[in-house]
Amino acid sequence: MSNIYDKDWFYRAFKFFACHHIRRSFKRYHVVGRENIPEDGILIFGINHSNALTDALSLILSTPGYQLFMARADIFQSKFWGAFLRRLKMLPIYRMRDGIGAVRDKNSAVIDEAVESMYHGVPLYLFPEATHRAKHSLRPLSKGIFHIAFQANEKYGDRKPVYIVPVGIEYGDYFRFRSTSLVSFGEPINVTEYLRDNTGKTEAEKLLELKEILTGRMASLISYIPDNEDYDAIWELVKIRAGLPPVSLKKRRNRNQKFIDKFVEFSKKEPERAKRLFEKVRTFTRHRKEHKISVISVSKKRPGWNMLWKTLMVIVGFPVFLVSGAVSAPIWGITSIIINKLKDKAFSNSVNFGVELLLHPLLTAVGMTLLFCLTPWQVAVVGTVFIYYSYTFTFDYYQYIRKWLSDIRWTFNKELRAEFNDIKNQ
C-alpha cells in the first residue's frame, strides 16, 4: 500500500475538477488570513463544523496542494470506497459505536499515519466539535486534536514545530445552495513552543488551556453568538440591523459581530428590558415565517422600491428561466427528490453539490454533442454556453422570485410592519 502523503495524479485531477464545481456552488467565495498559515511546520487545522460536507468542500478550495481529512470509519467498509477515499487523502476515524477495541487499536494506527503525513508536508484538517450544527456558535471542542498535536510534537517536534491553525467558516445561509462562504485562517498556536514553556503543568492542564485558546481564536473568525436562550432573537436582530449590501464577506462578518457584541452587552446590563425585547423579536420571527417573509425583505430600507425593481427583473428574465429550467431539469429534479427525503437538512447543500458534480458534465456533454450535430457551429457554441450556465441561472432566478414574493408580502402586511416598528422603537 502506498503512503497517503505520496504525490498522486488522481488526487490532483479530482481536486481540480471538484474545485471548479465548488466555485459554482457559491455566489461569492472569499478566503482571508492565508498569511497566518506557517510556511514550515507540521500543520493541523482546527475548523468549526456548521454545514456538514459543505465545510470540507469550502476547505478544499481554500488552499492549494494536498489536504488530509478524517471521516467516520463506517464509510470505508467497502473495499472500493475505502480505496477511493484513500486516494482522496482521507483516513477512517473510529468512534465508540464502532467498539472500544477499534477506537483503541485502529485509531492509534490512523493517528500514526496522519502524523507521518503531516511531517511529509500534507496538513491535517479536523473538526474538533466532532459533529456539525447549523449555528453561529461552537460546541465544546474534543481533546482529539490536541492529542494528535502532542503525539506529532513528541515524534517530530525537535525537527519541525507543530502548529494548530484555527479556521472559521462563515456562510450566508446554511441550507441554501449558491449562498456565500467566507473561510478565515487565524493566528496559529505554536504547540511545540507552548509545551516547551509549560513543562510544569499536567497534561490535563495543558489540554484545558489549549482548548480555551483554540476556542477563542475560532470564535473570533465567525459571527459568534453565545449558545443560550437569546441566540435566535439576537441573530434575527443582527440580520435586520446589518442588512445585506454588497460589501466584502469579511466586512459583513465584522459588522455582524459588532452588532452581536452590542446585543450581548445589552442583555447583561439591562436583563429585564432585553428579555422583553427578545420575546417580542421571537414572536415577530414566528409571524414573519408564518407569512413566508424573508428577513432580507425586512432589512431593506425601501422594500417598496426593491419590489418594483425586482418585478421588472422577474418579467425580463422569466422566458430565459423557463428554457434554462427545462434544460437543467434532471439536475434540479433529482436534487429536489433527494433533499425532500433528508432527515438532516444541513446536508442540503452537500446534495446539491454532489448531484451537480455528477450530472452537469454529462448534461453539458450530451447537449453540446447534439447541438454541434444538428445546428450551425455558431448556434452550437451559444447553446453550449447556455447549457453550461443553465442550472446556476435557474437556481438563482428561482431564489430571486422567492425574494420578490417576500418583498410583496412584506410591503402589504401592515400588521407585521407595525409589529416590527414597535421593536425598532425599543
pLDDT per residue as tens digits for the range 76-112? 888 888 888 888 899 888 765 655 665 666 778 889 9
Q: Containing domain of residue 261, as a range? A: 231-290
In a domain, 295, yes or no: no
Looking at 267, 290, 313, the residue that finishes a domain is 290
- Of the listed ranges 27-41, 253-267, 302-316, 357-371, the least confidently predicted one is 302-316
Distances (CA, A) of 273 to 2, 269, 278, 426: 63, 9, 9, 9
The answer to whether residues 28 and 102 belong to one domain is yes
d(CA 292, CA 417): 14
d(CA 335, CA 348): 9
The answer to whether residues 173 and 275 belong to one domain is no
The answer to whether residues 209 and 119 belong to one domain is yes
Per-residue pLDDT of 345-386, as tens digits, reads: 888 999 999 999 999 999 999 999 999 999 999 999 999 999
Looking at 242, 260, 290, the residue that finishes a domain is 290
Half-sphere exposure at residue 387, Cβ-oriented, CA atoms within 13 angstroms: 21
Look at residue 71 in the predicted model and tell me its pLDDT.
82
The answer to whether residues 112 and 86 belong to one domain is yes
Is residue 92 within 8 Å of residue 71, measured between CB atoms? yes
In a domain, 225, yes or no: no
The count of structural domains within the chain is 3
Q: What are phi and psi of 215, to 5 degrees?
A: -60, -45
In a domain, 350, yes or no: yes
In a domain, 39, yes or no: yes
d(CA 216, CA 218): 6
Note if the pTM is more than 0.85: yes
The answer to whether residues 147 and 235 belong to one domain is no
In a domain, 340, yes or no: yes
The answer to whether residues 316 and 351 belong to one domain is yes
CATH number at residue 86: 3.40.1130.10
Average pLDDT for the chain = 91
Per-residue pLDDT of 61-77, as tens digits, reads: 999 999 999 887 777 88
The answer to whether residues 201 and 86 belong to one domain is yes
Looking at 219, 251, 276, the residue that finishes a domain is 219
In a domain, 371, yes or no: yes
- Supply angle C-alpha 380, 385, 391, rounded to 5: 125
In a domain, 315, yes or no: yes
The answer to whether residues 60 and 180 belong to one domain is yes
The answer to whether residues 102 and 19 belong to one domain is yes
The answer to whether residues 242 and 262 belong to one domain is yes
The answer to whether residues 277 and 333 belong to one domain is no
The answer to whether residues 283 and 337 belong to one domain is no
Per-residue pLDDT of 109-128, as tens digits, reads: 889 999 999 999 999 999 99
In a domain, 3, yes or no: no
